Amino acid sequence: MSSDTCADQDGPFVDLHTHSTASDGAVAPAEVVRSAAAIGLAAIALTDHDTVDGVAEASAEGEKQGVRVIAGCELSAFEKNLEIHLLVLHIRSPETLKPHLDQFRDERFYRARQMVEKLNAAGHKLSFDDVLLEADGGVIGRPHVARAMLNKGLVTDFREAFERYLGFGCPAYVEKPRISSKDAIAIAHAAGGMVFWAHPSKDGGRERTKRLVDEGLDGLEVIHPSHTSEDIKRFHKFVTEFNLVKTGGSDWHGAREGYRTLGNMNIPMSWLAAQDQFMAAQATL
């Protein structure tokens, strides 16, 4: 993304979409925070897939580093028959969310096992232990299967793993267990969180946004590395039209270079302040 599509050019900045080894990121939760401190970020949201297990470690490091840590996660759901990712931020009651996340974690475990079985049936030797080693105790996702395949020499890079084996319609693809966007939003709200449509990109049209707003959506991830300048203009318009809250971030998984590096979206503190105001208003209802 070019600099003219970023939110602002004057700091301080925040990054409200990051991942750690608690799911499919490459660095530990505390290291996410140390990396944020090193580049001068005022706050980060830790938004691992289907887990809040890294939040306590990140928050403790945030106290040491002077970086505010927002408790969050990223949920996978389905709106009609279309997959959608939802960012849940400012989670007040993670214990309310945890039973649901534990179920999602178990479903991810069995999905990955089925992928390995399909690869083996196709003659590609990979053990499930290889995948568990890549996950290292975190929530298992397709990237862990891809890393295991890469390490075993079954593919030459991540792109090949997904395009030839793990992507939709490919030989080792296994569909995710389904939870509706409406149910996912309700679960997140029950835990006291705000819910944003994560990286809507080209799928973020008005009709679909309206359906999600009717289900209780609180906001849109306006700024994301995958968004074009036209996407961003459209999402700003929807934020105003539907009275939504903005968020944004790098979707950082640990890369030190490329288009998804920590803090590179220049999300201003004012966006986080608006989220805080929303949460304060909700608390009085």
Confidence of residue 1 (pLDDT cuts 50, 70, 90): very low
Q: In the structure encoding, which two tokens stand for residue 4, read together?
A: 């003219």
- Span of 104-113, 155-164, 271-280 with lowest mean pLDDT: 104-113
d(CA 136, CA 144): 9
* % the chain with pLDDT above 70: 96
Q: Is the pLDDT of residue 15 over 90?
A: yes
- Are 268 and 14 in contact by the 8 Å Cβ rule? The answer is yes
Residue 8: predicted pLDDT: 57
Reference 18, options 41, 106, 96; nearest CA is 41
Residue 176: predicted pLDDT: 80
Note the pLDDT tens digit of each residue in 231-273.
999 999 999 999 999 999 999 999 999 999 999 999 999 999 9
Residue 116: predicted pLDDT: 96
The total of other beta-carbon atoms located within 10 Å of residue 205's CB is 11
What's the rounded mean pLDDT across residues 205-217? 98
Residue 7: predicted pLDDT: 60
Q: Is the pLDDT of residue 23 over 60?
A: yes
- Are 239 and 248 in contact by the 8 Å Cβ rule? The answer is no
Residue type, 251: D
End-to-end CA distance of the chain: 39
Q: Output the pTM of the full model.
A: 0.85
Residue 81: predicted pLDDT: 86
Instruction: Please tell me the number of Cα atoms within 13 Å of 34 on its side-chain side.
Output: 7
Q: Is the pLDDT of residue 174 over 50?
A: yes
